[in-house]
Structure 1
Amino acid sequence: MANVTLAPTLANDTRRFGRVALVHDWFTAYAGSEKVVEQILQVFPHADLYSVVDFFPESQRSALGGKHATTSFIQHLPRARRAFRNYLPLMPLAIEQFDLSSYDLVISSSHAVAKGVLTGPDQVHVSYVHSPIRYAWDLQHQYLSEAGLERGIKSWIARALLHYMRIWDQRTANGVDAFIANSAFVGRRIRKAYGSEAVVVYPPVDVERFELCTQHEDFYLTASRMVPYKRVPLIVEAFSAMPSRRLVVIGEGPDLARASAAAAGNVTLLGYQPDEVLVDYMQRARAFVFAAEEDFGISVVEAQACGTPVIALGRGGVREIVIDSPDPERSTGLFFGEQSVASIVDAVERFEQHQAFRPDVCRRNAMRFTTDRFRREFLGVVERAMEGNEAPSKPPARRWRSA
């Protein structure tokens, strides 16, 4: 990737960038992509928010600076609060109805349709892509399988819809002046889907709120939403095959019943836990276990910030976080190669034999992903895009590197 000069100050002067619009797919929960929006608003506090729907919890709206988003017609459709994703076929139309013609700079935070907003030739559009639409591109077949849509008329309707989404998604990529990817892994997906290069700016992680713990107890931890691609039941099954290894599981979701059914006596499922409880377990765990193929992996960074090593599937963005090295001065965890019980069991046994992970090394590794670093690198990319309305998303050389 092209190197980016870090800006010395934040963009709190509207004279520097003019009017700024910040477009996010939807505001329904305070999760990883919303934390990115929170930090972008720290850089551009005067930005106006736009979103397909805004059902963000009022108790957490301070993360958005107290702002409410201008929403689309989908906000007012029946059952939108609980089932807004059912209106996916209408979202391309909805996002294109926002009139952003009065803005000088448009920033989109996109994992679905936000990057498809319409902009003119005198506007600069910078798109932070958490991922191209996963279920429309390389994960289509996995999505259809998990949704039980592999055969039948519903399957063909779903396939036709996803085909339409791919065409629209690729076409709207031409309206972006600069792509930012949240990992080199996503950068490669952007290149495959849109034919464009992307500067890598890793997501912000509030690592300062985690304290380094140098004394770890004899249990392993996994924590995430229990949705199929996280593979929590697989981790539970693997530890159930290792009765001498204790596992603690934190999280809830559709796969909770499957995880419970697979759990032996050495596996403790705690369900949802407040943040302070999660952090406590994360600090005390022998290691954090992660089996998903993620675009990045914020929970992995958080575990490292606690001084906790990580045992992870060696695919996706996590490879840019965890350092699997024979050098104890660098090593912060180890990888396994397959989403299988045997592979996880083997990794845990290798971990037990390693005995060389240093909490201070794990903590130092996590400090690469601070919120301050994100704000400065993000602003640097925007400044480059604004200078002469150039296109840093298409540099002459293909280099996947953090900004």
Structure 2
Amino acid sequence: MHRAFPDAAIYTSLYEPDATFPEFAECDITTSALQRFSSFRRYHRAAFPFLAPAFSRMRVTADIAICSSSGWAHGSRVSGRKIVLCHTPARWLYQPEQYLRGRGVGARLASASLRRPLLKWDQRAAQSVDRYLAVSTAVRDRIAAAYGIEAEVLHSPHAAHPGAHRTRPEGVADEFDLCVSRLLPYKNVDAIIQAYSTMPSLNLVVVGSGPDEARLKSLAGPSTRFLSEVPDEQLWWLYGNCRLLVAASYEDFGLTPLEAAAFGKPSVALRWGGFLDSVIEGETGIFFDVPDPHEIRAAVTEAGNQRWNEDSLRNQAELFSEEAFAARLNAIVNEMR
């Protein structure tokens, strides 16, 4: 989004340069009062109870502000008109069981105690918005259900670069399937690992890190290899050389199948949320209905037996390019002037 408006100032709750993209170092960034607390910068979830008041006190002086929000940014005060690119209405308010899956008693109690005041705050914030954009059809429907607001779908772009330099990671088999995901309970990587443990002839590479990593490694068989954070050139190599991608998470927007498609690779994905927009069944991938190892195994087998058209896959990815996203977002801003 910043590349679409490179001269725009950025307002955010917290900014830790070493923990985000280096390109932001050259940007004009304004943070909330929470920035003063180093513990919040290192562990942003600790700031949860304070984010609503922090954004309520954030004043943005601009004719038009674009708020990229999955729970907080839409509450900022804007002198001009406010556009919200919504990744999802707050999960902790509208999908609490899914959001809190695998979390401890403390997190559940904190969420329950704050839910009522945060719900009131969220509803007020939503009504202050001049125009809502949703990153997927599923998110558009959630916005309508939560706020009674009709949103335009503006899909998030992928950032895959098939023509970029690629480097092979060490220890990766010649033939493998790929899973790219943060290692969190709702990502359902455990179901993928368990499915592949029943298919020992297939190699699985899991790219990602997160608090569920130790548990997932304990479930994995010898044909599953974990790679934590990999540089882009290694990720592009993995996409370009895998047989297929497997994605079982509850995603608001299904990004990884598009990255795979940019390299001409199909996906096996959960029939849910954003994947319904990013995967065309039978053309760019195969769906399974629930994140269950048996269903995943059946879908992987079906995908492996099908012949895929690489041109169709790449054409699908092109519809979600950064250029297409920037062009539509600029057009929306011009409509609002």
TM-score (normalizing by structure 2): 0.91
Distance in structure 2 (CA, Å) of the matches to 1:78 and 1:302: 34
Q: Write the mapping of 1:259-270 to structure 2, written as runs, cut at 5 A.
A: 259-270=216-227
Per the TM alignment, residue 208 of structure 1 is displaced from its structure 2 partner at its CA by: 4.2
The counterpart of 1:95, out of the listed 22, 30, 55, is: 55
Q: Which residue of 2 aligns with 1:106?
A: 65
Against the structure 1 CA distance between its residues 85 and 244, is the aligned structure 2 distance closer, same or farther, given a 3 Å change threshold? same
Q: Which amino acid letter does the alignment assign opposite residue 362 of structure 1?
A: L
Q: Does the Cα contact within 8 Å between 1:210 and 1:306 map onto a contact in 2? A: no
Q: Which residue of 2 aligns with 1:82?
A: 42
Q: Does the Cα contact within 8 Å between 1:61 and 1:67 map onto a contact in 2? A: no
Q: Write the mapping of 1:195-344 to structure 2, written as runs, cut at 5 A.
A: 195-210=148-163, 218-325=175-282, 331-344=283-296
Per the TM alignment, residue 382 of structure 1 is displaced from its structure 2 partner at its CA by: 1.9
Per the TM alignment, residue 147 of structure 1 is displaced from its structure 2 partner at its CA by: 1.1
Per the TM alignment, residue 385 of structure 1 is displaced from its structure 2 partner at its CA by: 2.7
Against the structure 1 CA distance between its residues 323 and 77, is the aligned structure 2 distance closer, same or farther, given a 3 Å change threshold? same
The counterpart of 2:123, out of the listed 167, 170, 185, is: 170
Q: Secondary structure at the match of 1:272?
A: coil
Q: Does the Cα contact within 8 Å between 1:54 and 1:68 map onto a contact in 2? A: no
Instruction: Note the alpha carbon deviations across 1:296-353, whole angstroms, 9 max, x for none.
Output: 122221111000110011111011111113xxxxx11100011111110111122233
Distance in structure 2 (CA, Å) of the matches to 1:335 and 1:240: 20
Q: Does the Cα contact within 8 Å between 2:288 and 2:296 map onto a contact in 1? A: yes
Per the TM alignment, residue 209 of structure 1 is displaced from its structure 2 partner at its CA by: 4.2
Against the structure 1 CA distance between its residues 208 and 220, is the aligned structure 2 distance closer, same or farther, given a 3 Å change threshold? closer
Q: Write the mapping of 1:122-137 to structure 2, written as runs, cut at 5 A.
A: 123-137=80-94
Q: Secondary structure at the match of 1:289?
A: strand
Q: Does the Cα contact within 8 Å between 2:66 and 2:84 map onto a contact in 1? A: yes
State, as a whole percentage, how many aligned pairs show the same letter: 32
Per the TM alignment, residue 377 of structure 1 is displaced from its structure 2 partner at its CA by: 0.6
Q: Which residue of 2 aligns with 1:191?
A: 144
Distance in structure 1 (CA, Å) of the matches to 2:319 and 2:104: 40
- Greater Rg over alpha carbons, structure: 1
The counterpart of 1:143, out of the listed 87, 99, 103, is: 99
The counterpart of 1:361, out of the listed 299, 302, 312, is: 312
Q: Which amino acid letter does the alignment assign opposite residue 309 of structure 1?
A: P
Q: Does the Cα contact within 8 Å between 2:205 and 2:224 map onto a contact in 1? A: yes
Q: Which amino acid letter does the alignment assign opposite residue 313 of structure 2?
A: C
Distance in structure 2 (CA, Å) of the matches to 1:186 and 1:273: 29
Q: Does the Cα contact within 8 Å between 2:162 and 2:263 map onto a contact in 1? A: no
2:11 aligned with 1:50:
yes
Q: Which residue of 1 aligns with 2:169?
A: none
TM-score (normalizing by structure 1): 0.77
Q: Write the mapping of 1:8-47 to structure 2, written as runs, cut at 5 A.
A: 40-47=1-8
Distance in structure 2 (CA, Å) of the matches to 1:192 and 1:263: 39
Runs (5+) with no aligned partner, structure 1: 1-39, 326-330, 387-403
RMSD of the alignment, in Å? 2.2
Instruction: Note the alpha carbon deviations across 1:79-109, whole angstroms, 9 max, x for none.
Output: 1221232122211111121233x42112211
Q: Does the Cα contact within 8 Å between 1:109 and 1:128 map onto a contact in 2? A: yes
Instruction: Note the alpha carbon deviations across 1:235-270, whole angstroms, 9 max, x for none.
Output: 111100112222122222212112211111222223
